Amino acid sequence: MATKKTDDAFSLAAFDPTKVTETFRDFAEKGAAQSKEAYAKVKTAAEDATKTVEATLESAQSGTVELGLKAIDALRTNAENSLSHLEALLGVKSVSEFFELQTAFIRKQAELAVEQAKAMQEATRKVAENVAKPGKDAAEKVISGFKKS
């Protein structure tokens, strides 16, 4: 009788190939589904990253144009003021009048330089914020996605 129990435990009659096939099929289907899901996530992340880079470059380009226009405007204003000052100097009749005009011009140019520097600083700050915004938004989106998970 001892041989009968041993034969039953190792007999091929207990082996069911359909169960193995079903298990393998389930495993393969789950693996394929997980691969599709992972691919979809990677694809979405890549598309989002591309959009972020495009938005950042677009903001940087428009910001550079804006800063360039502000610089040109400042140069134009300074050139016009200098030409107006030279014209005024041509009509000077005394040394005291010359020093008065020169002092007023220097004071006006110093005040203008401070105003122009403040305007450029503010414009640069806004451009920097606009350039950083797409990346900041993308990072917040990723972080909120982790919080939901």
Written as six digits, the tokens of 12 are 């091929």
Report yes or no on 6 lying in a domain.
no
Report yes or no on 31 lying in a domain.
yes
On whether the CB atoms of residues 134 and 55 are closer than 8 A, the answer is yes
| Helix, strand counts (H, E) of the chain | 3, 0
Judge if pTM exceeds 0.75.
no
Residue tagged 């394929």 (tokens): 32
User: What range defines the domain where residue 75 resides?
Assistant: 17-148
**Number of domains present in the structure of the chain:** 1
pLDDT of 44 above 60 = yes
CA distance 62 to 53: 14
Report yes or no on 100 lying in a domain.
yes
Report yes or no on 23 lying in a domain.
yes
Report yes or no on 2 lying in a domain.
no
Q: What pLDDT, in 10s, does the model give residues 134-149?
A: 888 888 887 877 776 5
Report yes or no on 11 lying in a domain.
no
